[in-house]
Amino acid sequence: MRQAATTSVGLGMPNLTRAMVPGHIDVQSEDELRRNILDVTMDLVVEGLTRQPEVAIAETPIPPRQIVFSGSFDAVNEYFYQQEWSDGLPIVPPTIDRIEQFLKFTDRAPDEVLGVLLPDSRAATIWSIAVNGVMAGCKPEYMPVLVALIEAMADPEYGVEHSSNTPGAETLIILNGPIIQQLGFNYEQGVMRDGFRPNTSIGRFWRLYLRNVAGFLPHKTDKGTFGNSWRVVVAENEGVLEEIGWKPLSTDMGFEAGDNTVTIGRYTGGNLMAGVGGATPEEMLPYIADHVLKQITWHVIFTIGMANGMLRPLLLITPIIARQLAKAGWSKDDVKRYLFEHCRMPAEMFNRYLNFGDWTKPGPWNIEDHVRLKKAPKFFYESDDPKRLVPIVFDPDDFMIAVTGDPLRTNAYAFAPNGHLGYQIAKKIQLPKNWDVFLKAGTTKK
């Protein structure tokens, strides 16, 4: 009910009336649900339709350059925390001077709007990007990356409005291009560990922007059941990719090798596979395929059901694994094909995750109906055998692979995606005209 009340404001209906269904429908019998709706909900519906709602009072937005508070570092942090503008960690006070330092690293106007973000329907501006970049502890020269990220956040295909759904998935940012070296991103040991300023602060920026501009607040509009914390930026090891002749992830997303890009996608979680041993792909890949498959359970509703063909598992492999695969003559496409052929589950298990009233309750779906309706490829229903193995994605290219992490370890990491509720998209990073001058001058221009 709190989420409905808060979200209705952002949707332009601040005095929208609401009718509650008692309890949780997933654990009620049909009789219980019927009684609750008829005895409680219907009365509230009638009351909402026949009673004049209270007059709504519009919230006045704060002008960009208005000073909202003055005080000591501790006082500023306490004020921001009480206003719910902070993630609970100390923020860097976003003074006008600091914000203007960030604006020097973009050729775009401060008031330019990149999109309108739900649930608060607030404009994503270059100015607000700089504000939250300062707060997150970013350096001014990270600004081009931050702008590209918010362009991605505002892209309708990504679906920022789903950032609050109950699985609590969190966005992972993958970086490609020369900017990795130019700004000092970590792409080796501990690549997903905090401790490297660009990786860490930009990851934090993403979550702050979701909170302060999009409007996702815990216990209000953010309904992640358990939730995940923000993730640090993962940069690919492009030196190794060039050495072995593999293209970076950015090319899979439609860009040229050498372009500076950000790729985003929301993942419910992931897990490490340790010690991927073997001298050949045939010895190494069965373990990897088995592990990738084990991350995907209810997520198949994004392959068939809630969405069709929108499941994109992500695999991170270390340079040693990539080198060994390439040494055997395998391309990244060959690895994707192997995963497509071997990451498969019995049709009866697939349907069990889809079917209403069995293990999960996402909806009354099944493989057979979707193939008959031409919503899924024919190879999902080649026979009636419930034991037949079916893939977890529509196409080998649905698997995403990035090379990164400790160059001295034979480990890998698989992520389970949240389908179209945070779909993987990429944007090119637009550098300012004076970028090379700034870099030669030694980061921030005074």
**What's the pTM value of the predicted model, to 2 decimals?**
0.92
CB 395 within 8 A of CB 309: yes
12 and 117 part of one domain: no
Interval 208-250: pLDDT, tens: 999 999 999 999 999 899 998 899 999 999 999 999 999 999 9
Mean pLDDT score of the chain: 93
154 and 215 part of one domain: yes
Over its C-alpha atoms, the chain yields an Rg (Å, rounded) of: 24
127 and 16 part of one domain: no
pLDDT of residue 271: 96
CB 287 within 8 A of CB 339: no
| Residue 446 placed within a domain | no
Interval 98-152: pLDDT, tens: 999 999 999 999 999 999 999 999 999 999 999 999 999 999 999 999 999 999 9
11 and 151 part of one domain: no
45 and 182 part of one domain: no
10 and 109 part of one domain: no
120 and 232 part of one domain: yes
Q: Containing domain of residue 315, as a range? A: 73-343+392-441
| Residue 118 placed within a domain | yes
- Beta-strand pair 122-125/113-117: antiparallel
181 and 257 part of one domain: yes
pLDDT of residue 233: 98
| Residue 103 placed within a domain | yes
| Residue 205 placed within a domain | yes
41 and 146 part of one domain: no
Q: How many domains does the chain have?
A: 2
| Residue 436 placed within a domain | yes
Of 115, 116, 113, which is closest to residue 125 (Cα–Cα)?
113
pLDDT of residue 363: 67
| Residue 296 placed within a domain | yes
Residues 6+ away with beta carbon under 8 Å from 436: none
| Residue 401 placed within a domain | yes
Query: pLDDT category, 196, cuts 50, 70, 90?
Result: very high
197 and 237 part of one domain: yes
Interval 326-365: pLDDT, tens: 999 999 999 999 999 999 999 999 999 997 556 766 567 8
398 and 251 part of one domain: yes
Query: pLDDT category, 446, cuts 50, 70, 90?
Result: very low
pLDDT of residue 85: 96
Q: 444 pLDDT exceeds 70?
A: no
Mean pLDDT of 185-206: 97
77 and 13 part of one domain: no
Please give the DSSP secondary-structure letter assigned to residue 218.
B
| Residue 348 placed within a domain | no
3-state SS of 372-398?
HCCCCCHHHCCCCCCCCEEECCCCHHH
